[in-house]
């Protein structure tokens, strides 16, 4: 177990702490002379988790510690983090349920398409739209959490969540286009090979 994989696992373990803090009844914590509420604590958990997402990938590439476990766990951890945060925000009525459903459904649907493509021998890499989508989702969730404690940040949270939704849908269309292109080519090539094999069989039989 290397450090990048440990950071990825830490991100997963932070998810229940984030949800528990976000849906907790209002209370006040004090630490180092600073008073804060549970939603601020949830925001802290979320920011730490988001930072590990950047750090584990950077370290894995820098130290050449990219592993199969890390490759599998990293997208799972990302989806758990964003999905859990959105569901908790819906619970406290900070994000509309339909918006959370669209974002979560898109992420799982695209993961399914990428898995299907991989079984056909194709890899659909993360696009710039997809990376922008993830960055906007993190910003949207973060500012929305901040807005639950400081109303001045609420409009920023609304704006970034709408931007995240737009990029989520646009990137989904882009992924589907790449998926269809790859799979369509694969199906046509397979059919062509089947016809060639059938023709050869006929010639041998003749």
Instruction: Tokens for 110, please give them.
Output: 């695209």
Contacts for 195 with CB less than 8 Å, ≥ 6 apart = none
Three-state DSSP at 150 gives coil
Arithmetic mean of pLDDT, 171-187: 78
Q: Look at the alpha carbons of 64, 66, 67, 68 in this order and tell me if their dihedral is positive or negative.
A: negative
pLDDT at 142 over 90: yes
| Res 124: pLDDT | 67
Angstrom distance (rounded) from CA 46 to CA 50? 6
Angstrom distance (rounded) from CA 162 to CA 103? 11
| Res 128: pLDDT | 73
pLDDT at 125 over 70: no
Arithmetic mean of pLDDT, 33-48: 85
Contacts for 130 with CB less than 8 Å, ≥ 6 apart = 171, 174, 175
Better pLDDT: 111 or 50: 50
pTM: 0.82
Q: How confident is the model at residue 3 (pLDDT cuts 50, 70, 90)?
A: confident
Contacts for 156 with CB less than 8 Å, ≥ 6 apart = 143, 146, 147
| Lowest model confidence (mean pLDDT) among 57-66, 73-82, 95-104, 152-161 | 57-66
Q: How confident is the model at residue 206 (pLDDT cuts 50, 70, 90)?
A: low
Could you identify the residue written with the tokens 């569901």? 87
| Res 17: pLDDT | 92
Q: How confident is the model at residue 123 (pLDDT cuts 50, 70, 90)?
A: low
| Lowest model confidence (mean pLDDT) among 19-33, 49-63, 141-155 | 19-33
| Res 130: pLDDT | 72
Q: What percent of the chain has pLDDT over 70?
A: 90
Q: How confident is the model at residue 189 (pLDDT cuts 50, 70, 90)?
A: confident
Angstrom distance (rounded) from CA 92 to CA 76? 24
Taking CA 75 as the corner, what is the angle to CA 71 and CA 80, rounded to the nearest 5 degrees? 140
Instruction: Tokens for 96, please give them.
Output: 């509309």
């Amino acid at each position: 177990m290397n450090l990048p994989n440990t950071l990825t696992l830490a991100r997963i373990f932070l998810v229940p702490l984030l949800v528990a803090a976000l849906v907790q009844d209002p209370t006040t914590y004090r630490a180092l002379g600073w008073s804060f509420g549970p939603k601020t604590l949830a925001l802290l958990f979320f920011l730490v988790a988001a930072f590990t997402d950047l750090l584990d990938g950077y370290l894995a590439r820098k130290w050449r510690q990219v592993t199969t476990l890390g490759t599998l766990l990293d997208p799972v951890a990302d989806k758990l983090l964003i999905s859990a945060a959105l569901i908790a925000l819906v619970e406290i009525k900070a994000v509309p349920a339909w918006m959370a459903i669209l974002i979560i459904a898109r992420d799982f649907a695209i993961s399914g398409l990428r898995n299907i493509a991989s079984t056909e021998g194709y890899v659909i890499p993360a696009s710039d739209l997809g990376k922008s989508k993830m960055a906007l989702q993190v910003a949207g969730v973060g500012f929305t959490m901040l807005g639950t404690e400081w109303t001045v940040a609420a409009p920023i949270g609304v704006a970034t969540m709408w931007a995240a939704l737009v990029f989520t849908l646009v990137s989904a269309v882009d992924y589907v286009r790449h998926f269809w292109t790859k799979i369509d080519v694969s199906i046509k090539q397979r059919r062509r090979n089947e016809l060639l094999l059938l023709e050869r069989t006929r010639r041998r039989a003749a």
